[in-house]
Amino acid sequence: MAEWARTKKAGRPQVESGCMPVRMNDLGAVCTELLSATWAIENITKLRAQPAEERHLFLFARSYDVGDYFYRLSDSYDDGPMEQIEDITLPEGISDVWFRGRAQPGSNQQPHAISLRLARFQSGVEWQRHVVSIDELDLPSPAPGIAGDPVLAELRLPKART
């Protein structure tokens, strides 16, 4: 357990065992299944109802079983890809699908920074991996209706998420 915690804190890929199906080299099929789920179809229908030249669907996992697939999509490996990721068929009207991967806290020099890994499948371009760095102190102020709430100012400071 201690090794798992050190690996997670360092932001390195981790391996766990359990009853979740691994589905190695089957990530494209997993993503296609997710995009055909009822909740996904409802959100895609909402997106298509709005006029746009491009429509990007952003997905994040609400549970570990799906999150593990998203982590594997967005992780980079020193020796190259861990597994082959086949292309997915995007729903009609959707140009890009983004999958949120791991988030890693900043260093001691930048305690408010977060690195976020993303995997992107773009129609005609295939899979891409991105790392986004966000400094919580650079985020815009909350909306005026939120800023006037009775919460103490020190509770609005960025949290140390470790």
22 against 134, higher pLDDT:
134
Q: Which of 9, 13, 12 shows the shortest CA–CA distance to 107?
A: 9
**Is pLDDT larger for residue 9 or for residue 133?**
133
| Residue spans of alpha helices (H) in 49-131 | 64-74
Q: Each residue of 54-76: pLDDT tens digit? A: 899 888 887 777 778 888 888 87
Would the pLDDT of 140 be above 80? Answer: no
pLDDT band for 79, please (50, 70, 90 cuts).
Answer: low
Query: Residues near 134 by Cβ (< 8 Å), separated by ≥ 6?
Result: 113, 114, 115, 116
Q: What pLDDT score does 127 carry?
A: 87
- What is the average pLDDT across 16-31? 73
SS3 156: helix
- The pTM of the full predicted model, rounded to 2 decimals, is 0.68
Helices 27-35 and 64-74, packing angle to 10 deg: 120
Sheet holding 56-59, edge to edge: 56-59, 96-105, 113-122, 126-135
Neighbours of 121 (CB within 10 A): 24
Share of the chain above pLDDT 70, in %: 78
What pLDDT is recorded for position 146?
59
Distance CA 111, CA 27 (A): 34
Q: Which pLDDT score, from 0 to 100, does residue 98 have?
A: 92
Position 81 scores a pLDDT of: 59
Q: What is the pLDDT of residue 38?
A: 92
Predicted local distance difference test score (pLDDT) of residue 1:
63
pLDDT of residue 45: 92
Please give the C-alpha separations between residue 3 and each of 6, 8, 83, 160, in angstroms, as whole numbers: 5, 9, 24, 22
Q: How far apart are the C-alpha atoms of 87 and 121, rounded to whole Å? A: 8
Average pLDDT, the chain: 80
Please check whether residue 93 is in contact with residue 48, taking contact to mean a CB–CB distance below 8 angstroms. yes
